[in-house]
């Protein structure tokens, strides 16, 4: 039932979470305005153009597309302009010892490749993927789809199924130690350890329950939106506008206005805007620090250990590379050291693993004919004032040397266009503290309980969504956070 006709809602921030919450609020009958500080929408999910090369600026792996489609369904619209397809090949792997293979999406082909190339027992691989599915279907769905502040989350058939299978969930050992028990080849262990980085965590610390993440890629699938990742942002923006949402870009929110236990509106350089419901879809520490002026609460959340950030080079490459695919990983030879440097020393690893994404492999318009658009990313610690200029220069040298050796040509000689983002610029571009890609890390078994809830305990009509609050970072979780926040709006406002 639409009970809120005429009530005004304001959303701060037009990242995917902000756009999704605006669409959901319209479906509940609200008149919605979004205020976005950048002159473009999308936040982390935006794009960069360098001459004739186009790059998705942030996310490159698209999982759980039904969460985008759901926004069309609830709005009574058809997602005719948002198309995507499932990838047949998930990733190409390059190991330092010369082992290379393409990981197929099809389960039997995948098991065959892993057993032929890495010598793993096919039955063990099946068991691993089945456990991954089980973890996702039980604890994953409990923690990701529901609010952790409700007693009902912990007393329902799904929760009881989880309690009855505690040993299978992997709550009490690290992902790396579980992978070591399951696989004999250290390369297979490294491959599956990498899934911890999908939410910016350390495989040697994060609990083995994160072994659910491969299920997203293998069980549900990896997808590619027609036109590139930017189409997710553009489609949601188009849908929001069609539904009558007013999107004000280039307008930073300076503060949240409050009276008693209510948030009454926002202050911008264009004046004060009042509302009945306020949703903050920006970093939660930033909301407390700059918008509410609550320094101690801001500090509480900014002190929580952050996920990795990244250095990303966007290179227009003046040739093609048949040995690469859409997603490519060039692994380091010492994964424990790499993560010790990222999370322990909080510096750039001497030998970082490199992720190379080339969207022009799927979307030929992203690069001129005969050329490729390279998104070259290495994990970095969140910004704490490290000497980034020096670290950038050293890491760029390493990356060029490594990719040149792996691909058999001098990469630098083919760079026709270049720009770079690092933890500092990621922080200014999106307002995310430390430039962390996924908010807080999940290295601690109780990390999920430390994330901010999707509502304010102080202001009855203030709600939170986005990658820094429950259930966490990444496009699917940011979209889920918008759903949970608007469920609270329905309940509380």
| Contact set with ligand FAD (CB under 6 A) | 12-18, 35-38, 43-45, 58-61, 252-253, 281-282, 286, 310, 312, 426, 430-432, 437-438, 466-467, 473-475, 478
The least distance separating ligand FAD from the CB of residue 221, rounded to whole angstroms, comes to: 13
Nearer to ligand FAD, 432 or 471 (CB): 432
Nearer to ligand FAD, 275 or 437 (CB): 437
The least distance separating ligand FAD from the CB of residue 443, rounded to whole angstroms, comes to: 17
The least distance separating ligand FAD from the CB of residue 485, rounded to whole angstroms, comes to: 11
The least distance separating ligand FAD from the CB of residue 431, rounded to whole angstroms, comes to: 3
The closest of 28, 4, 10 to 462, measured between CA atoms, is 10
List, in sequence order, every residue forming a beta bridge with 315; answer none if it has no partner: 374, 418
- Per-residue DSSP letter, 382: P
φ/ψ of 207, rounded to 5, equals: -65, 155
What's the rounded Cα separation, in Å, for the pair 168 and 135?
A: 8
Residue 491: enclosing H or E segment and its boundaries?
helix 475-492
Q: Are strands 372-380 and 354-357 parallel, antiparallel or unpaired?
A: antiparallel
φ/ψ of 462, rounded to 5, equals: -110, 130
Nearer to ligand FAD, 120 or 325 (CB): 325
What's the rounded Cα separation, in Å, for the pair 428 and 408?
A: 36
- Per-residue DSSP letter, 360: G
The least distance separating ligand FAD from the CB of residue 250, rounded to whole angstroms, comes to: 10
The least distance separating ligand FAD from the CB of residue 225, rounded to whole angstroms, comes to: 12
Nearer to ligand FAD, 44 or 146 (CB): 44
DSSP 91-157: EEEE-TTS-EEEEESSHHHHHHHHHHHH---HHHHHHHHHHHHHHIIIIIHHHHHS-TT-GGGGSSH
- Listed in sequence order, the residues at least 6 apart from 318 whose beta carbon sits closer than 8 Å to its beta carbon are 370, 371, 414, 415, 416
What's the rounded Cα separation, in Å, for the pair 183 and 181?
A: 6
Nearer to ligand FAD, 120 or 381 (CB): 381
What's the rounded Cα separation, in Å, for the pair 314 and 60?
A: 13
C-alpha torsion angle, residues 366, 237, 45, 9 (rounded to 10): 170
The least distance separating ligand FAD from the CB of residue 66, rounded to whole angstroms, comes to: 14
Residue 25: enclosing H or E segment and its boundaries?
helix 16-27
Buried b / exposed e across 254-278, counting CB within 10 Å, b at 16+?
Answer: eebbbeeeebbbbebeeeebebbbb
The least distance separating ligand FAD from the CB of residue 387, rounded to whole angstroms, comes to: 21
Nearer to ligand FAD, 120 or 427 (CB): 427
Nearer to ligand FAD, 183 or 218 (CB): 218
Which residue reads 């397809």 in tokens?
85
C-alpha torsion angle, residues 15, 16, 17, 21 (rounded to 10): 110
Nearer to ligand FAD, 146 or 327 (CB): 327
Token representation of residue 381: 């610690």
The least distance separating ligand FAD from the CB of residue 460, rounded to whole angstroms, comes to: 22
The least distance separating ligand FAD from the CB of residue 423, rounded to whole angstroms, comes to: 10
Nearer to ligand FAD, 25 or 111 (CB): 25
**How far apart, in Å, do the first and last CA atoms of the chain sit?**
15
Nearer to ligand FAD, 183 or 224 (CB): 224
The least distance separating ligand FAD from the CB of residue 118, rounded to whole angstroms, comes to: 24
Nearer to ligand FAD, 117 or 456 (CB): 456
């Amino acid at each position: 039932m639409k009970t809120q006709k005429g009530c005004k809602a304001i959303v701060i921030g037009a990242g995917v979470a902000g756009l999704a919450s605006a669409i959901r609020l319209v479906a509940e009958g609200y008149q919605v305005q979004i205020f976005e500080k950048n002159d473009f929408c999308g936040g982390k999910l935006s794009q960069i153009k360098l001459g004739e090369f186009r790059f998705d600026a942030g996310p490159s792996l698209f999982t759980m597309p039904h969460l985008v489609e759901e926004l069309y369904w609830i709005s009574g619209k058809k997602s005719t302009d948002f198309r995507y397809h499932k990838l047949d090949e998930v990733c190409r792997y390059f190991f330092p010892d010369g082992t290379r293979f393409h990981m197929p999406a099809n389960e039997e082909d995948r098991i065959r490749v892993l057993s032929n190339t890495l010598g793993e027992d096919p039955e063990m691989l099946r068991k691993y993927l089945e456990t991954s599915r089980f973890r996702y279907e039980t604890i994953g769905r409990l923690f990701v789809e529901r609010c952790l502040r409700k007693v009902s989350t912990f007393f329902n058939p799904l929760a009881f199924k989880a309690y009855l299978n505690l040993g299978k969930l992997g709550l009490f050992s690290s992902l790396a130690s579980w992978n070591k028990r399951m696989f004999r080849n250290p390369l297979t262990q490294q491959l599956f350890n990498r899934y911890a980085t999908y939410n910016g965590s350390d495989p040697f610390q994060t609990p083995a329950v994160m072994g659910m993440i491969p299920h997203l890629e293998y069980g549900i699938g990896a997808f590619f939106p027609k036109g590139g990742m930017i189409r997710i942002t553009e489609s949601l923006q188009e849908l929001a506008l069609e539904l009558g949402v007013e999107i004000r870009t280039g307008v930073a929110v300076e503060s949240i206005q409050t009276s008693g236990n209510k948030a009454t509106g926002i202050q911008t350089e264009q004046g004060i805007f009042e509302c009945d419901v306020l949703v903050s879809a920006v970093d939660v520490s930033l909301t407390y620090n700059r918008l509410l002026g609550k320094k101690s609460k801001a500090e509480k959340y900014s002190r929580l250990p952050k996920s990795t950030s990244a250095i990303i080079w966007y290179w227009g490459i003046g040739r093609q590379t048949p040995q690469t695919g859409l997603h490519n990983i060039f692994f380091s030879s010492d994964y424990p050291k790499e993560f010790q440097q990222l999370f322990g020393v909080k510096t750039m690893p001497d030998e970082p693993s490199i992720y190379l994404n080339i969207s022009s492999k799927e979307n030929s318009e992203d690069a001129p004919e005969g050329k490729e658009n390279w998104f070259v990313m290495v994990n970095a610690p969140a910004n704490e004032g490290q000497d980034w200029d020096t670290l950038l220069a050293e890491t760029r040298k390493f990356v060029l040397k490594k990719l040149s050796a792996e691909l058999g040509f001098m990469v630098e000689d083919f760079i026709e266009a270049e720009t770079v983002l690092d933890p500092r610029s990621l922080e200014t571009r999106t307002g995310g503290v430390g430039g962390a890609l996924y908010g807080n890390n999940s290295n601690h078994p109780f990390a999920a309980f430390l994330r901010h809830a999707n509502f304010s305990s102080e202001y009855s009509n203030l709600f939170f969504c986005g990658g820094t609050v429950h259930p966490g970072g990444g496009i699917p979780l940011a979209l889920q956070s918008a759903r949970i926040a608007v469920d609270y709006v329905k309940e509380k406002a």
